[in-house]
Amino acid sequence: MTRALISQGPIGGDEPAVNVDMATDLAGVELPSPVLTASGCAAAGRELDQFFDVTEIGAIVTKSVMMQPRSGRPTPRMAETPSGMLNSIGLQGPGIDRFIEHDLAWLNERGARTIVSIAGGSVDEYAKLAARLRVARGISAIEVNISCPNVEDRGQVFACNPVSAAQVIQAVKRHSEPRMPIFAKLSPDVTDIVSIAESVVRAGATGVSVINTLLGMVINPDTMRPHLAGVTGGLSGPAIRPVAIRCVWQIRQAFPDLPIIGMGGIRSGLDALEFILAGANAVSVGTVVFHDPSAPMRIHHELQHALADRGFSRLADAVSHAHRPADIAPEVDDALDFISE
């Protein structure tokens, strides 16, 4: 694939053009941009294609699809929060067969790179989804949303248990095309996210997507009852970005070479840069598209300029840059000498 050496200014801006190689490698999948959509915020990308060319970003990460059609949870199922939002959609979707015939077919026809997100209520459902995708064409990778309740284990979320998480990944790996990259989407609602990452990597995950939403809740002061019909929901938006950065950082420290897709409250190129410096090879943009549908393309350009401003000619050189040892300033040296005396 041609390397993504893009030379242009930001949308609507008068700044000079910059030359930065924005290509990134995700487990052998070459992408022209590190900016992806986030699962659940843009369906299969058809709506966003009205605002920018979806073939110009790294990939479309589809809304998580399950075996059967789902109508989702009752309303109300969304709520605004300070610097974020809660959603309790409930994985509404068309089911895998309709998804392949309608959404995946459109993405292939459009020429977009596609990462398919799958979700299930049992290990067997994940296995069946992987088997259906094995014979489908035009898939760059599979993102396994393991932040779903395990209906066979008292509703415990797969991603919160290293054994259950590993079982899902093993099943998906076993039923997928052998060279298909598999990314486990991890939940931050755990004590030690590195231990969950270790379990899915050992089970065969090619990489990880970090992070999914945090579990939250809102009480309506007028009704004095939970605002969401489903009581709890997933918190997304800028409020969770520091948590996401921490998770990416910790996983990168533990796994220097593991492909990581970072996400959580990205609104600008500088937000995306934080994830890249912390160790993400790519970033997914989600909640911001609800009020700025062109955000993925805008963030690509802003990140490009942010990299150029800091002397990077390649995105790849910025990945994990924050982990490099910092030079000790002279005044710090003097202070250490004084203490040693």
Annotated domain spans of the chain:
22-340
d(CA 233, CA 83): 15
Peptide bond into 211 cis (omega under 30): yes
- Band of pLDDT at residue 264, cut at 50, 70 and 90: very high
Which of 41, 148, 160, 247 is catalytic? The answer is 148
Active site residue 148: yes
Rounded to a whole number of angstroms, the distance between the first and last alpha carbons of the chain is: 59
Residue 149: which pLDDT band, with cuts at 50, 70 and 90?
low
Q: Using the predicted structure, report yes or no on whether residue 302 has a pLDDT greater than 60.
A: yes
pLDDT confidence bin for 154, thresholds 50/70/90 = low
pLDDT value of residue 160? 94
What's the rounded Cα separation, in Å, for the pair 286 and 38?
Answer: 5
CATH code given to domain 22-340: 3.20.20.70
Amino acid 151: pLDDT: 57
pLDDT (tens digit per residue) in 63-112 = 999 999 988 888 999 999 999 999 888 888 999 999 999 999 999 999 99
Residue 5: per-residue pLDDT: 43
pLDDT for 201-255, tens place per residue? 999 999 999 999 999 999 999 999 999 999 998 999 999 999 999 999 999 999 9
Q: 275 CB contacts (<8 Å, ≥6 apart)? A: 244, 245, 248, 262, 263, 266, 283
In the predicted structure, residue 13 carries a pLDDT above the cut 60 = no
Is the pLDDT confidence value at 16 over 90? no
Give the residue, 336 or 304, on which the prediction is more confident: 304
Give the rounded distance of the alpha carbon of 52 from its chain centre.
20
Report pLDDT digits (tens) over 265-299. Answer: 999 999 999 999 999 999 999 999 999 999 999 99
Report the pLDDT averaged over residues 24-28: 96
Read off the pLDDT of each residue in 120-134 and give the average, rounded to a whole number.
97
Which of 101, 143, 104 is CA-nearest to residue 126?
A: 143
Question: By C-alpha distance, which of 167, 172, 191 is closest to 182?
Answer: 172
The neighbouring-strand residues paired with 234 are: 87, 215
